[in-house]
Structure 1
Amino acid sequence: MKLGRGTPVYLAGDDTGGVFGIVDGLVELHLPAPGGSATLAHIGRPGAWFGDLAALRGHPRRFSLVTRTNARLLRLSRSELQRLCDDVPGRWRYVADLVADNLSIAIDVVEALRRRDVVERTALNLLAVADDTGDLSVTQTDLAELACLSRGTINGALAALEERGLVKRHYREVEIRSLDGLARLVGKA
């Protein structure tokens, strides 16, 4: 399926509709917040799959998924997923891998939010949204929302990372200069 930028794939509270894989483009995962607003929690890249929890348990969606760019997605309905795995029981292992990957993302988000040092928290969030080459599609405002910090605090943290040669700030974007350096800073090298 092809979706334009800003199109909801699904919203928190929706009935399960299966799992979605990103072929190309980016998607945003938003957690519901008190008062009806939503908080940016993660940015998914091609190869990522979402919706596994609702598809497996048959419960309503716990978060919203919205396209960040024009995107092409694959969709497997809950019944298709179950049929594929029932036909060849060994396929459940791939579903387990998907669940483990998404659990790892959730743990990374929690770990980043628990870091009291704002420079380290910012570095963890940069690592979470960058691809393997360090390419980002994120603004300083996005980083502030991901890290649950003010825009001014993020700017200061990015300045500290820039002084260390790990990032370069540009208008409306951040460039990672050293993925390895960011990983070393937060103990993930």
Structure 2
Amino acid sequence: MSNTKIDEARVFLKRRGWLSGTPSRFADALLARCQLRSAERGVAVYRIGAPYDGLYGVVSGGFAFEIAPYERGPSLAHFFRPGFWFGEAEIFDARPQIATIVATRDSTLVHLSLSELRGLIAEEPETWRWIGQLCGQHLELTLGVVDDQMLRDPGERITAILLRLADVRQADNPEDPNPEIDVTQSDLAQLANLSRAAVVSKLQALEREGRIARSYGRVTLLDTGAMRSRLAISGE
């Protein structure tokens, strides 16, 4: 990868997502140790049970986050968009990977290898604090997932899931006003714990209302403000 591309990736990740809330000195030190990688659609960054190999930050494209904690799966649980970091949960005890990460389109990401991460921790002991902050952000996301799953109305549940997958559950991203999600109707049925027929019906209703547009294996959100307003009204 050219120096220009890695420099652009560092600038982007410093102002978007986790690192935007950390001290500039720490963000620079971490990003200086990262390598830029590409991932073709359908290729796994790693799979459940693989040896732990460090932190990753999404620069472009998208990644499916698949889980299989018990007897089922792997099943789609979330969608990683640019600015999202992952791989921190396994740091604390160097356990094998607990999820499968697959590119849903041609994508780029940065990788902080385990050896570079250890070097950063040795130089910057407060690295643990900022990794803890990342864990906290992901815990908050997980609690939001649980809360949305308790929505009784199927249409509201699907609306909440679409907003979360697009990373606009609470607020819009001005840089991406109409986010596109790589998700199938079958994926949404599994995520919402609904039949595929029920999901199709609810998506058709959202499309008629001008809230979304559908294409093969993808959903584009057209009116995220109205979608959030619907959830806010139902919660009053």
Cα deviation for residue 57 of structure 1 reads 2.6
CA gap 1:9/1:173 in 2 versus in 1, 3 angstroms:
closer
CA gap 1:152/1:33 in 2 versus in 1, 3 angstroms:
farther
Aligned to 1:134: 178
Cα pair 1:28 1:43 within 8 Å, conserved = yes
Q: Does 1:27 align with 2:63?
A: yes
Aligned to 2:125: 89
Aligned to 1:49: 85
Q: Does 1:12 align with 2:48?
A: yes
Give the aligned residue type for 1:31.
I
CA gap 1:112/1:134 in 2 versus in 1, 3 angstroms:
farther
The percentage of aligned residue pairs carrying the same residue is: 32
2:227 to 179, 182, 187: 182
Give the secondary structure class of the aligned counterpart of 1:174. Answer: strand
Cα pair 2:181 2:220 within 8 Å, conserved = no
> Deviations for 1:82-108, whole angstroms, at most 9, x for unmatched residues?
321331233333322221222222222
> Equivalences for 1:36-185 in 2 at 5 Å?
37-131=73-167, 132=173, 133-138=177-182, 139-170=184-215, 172-185=217-230
Q: Which runs of 5+ in 1 are unaligned?
A: none
Cα pair 1:112 1:147 within 8 Å, conserved = no
Cα pair 1:23 1:72 within 8 Å, conserved = yes
- Scaled by the length of structure 2, the TM-score of the pair is 0.70
Cα pair 1:21 1:49 within 8 Å, conserved = yes
> Deviations for 1:128-151, whole angstroms, at most 9, x for unmatched residues?
121522311233333223323222
* Higher Rg of the two aligned structures: 2
- Scaled by the length of structure 1, the TM-score of the pair is 0.85
Root mean square deviation, CA, Å: 2.5
Cα pair 1:22 1:72 within 8 Å, conserved = yes
> Deviations for 1:27-49, whole angstroms, at most 9, x for unmatched residues?
11001166563111111011111
> Which sits farther off after the overlay, 131-140 or 115-124?
131-140
* Larger RCO of the pair (alpha carbons < 8 Å, separation 6+): 1
Q: Which runs of 5+ in 2 are unaligned?
A: 1-36, 168-172
Q: How many residues align?
A: 189
Cα deviation for residue 119 of structure 1 reads 0.8
Cα deviation for residue 2 of structure 1 reads 1.6
Determine the C-alpha separation between the residues in 2 that align with 1:80 and 1:105.
27
> Which sits farther off after the overlay, 158-167 or 2-11?
158-167
Cα deviation for residue 180 of structure 1 reads 1.4
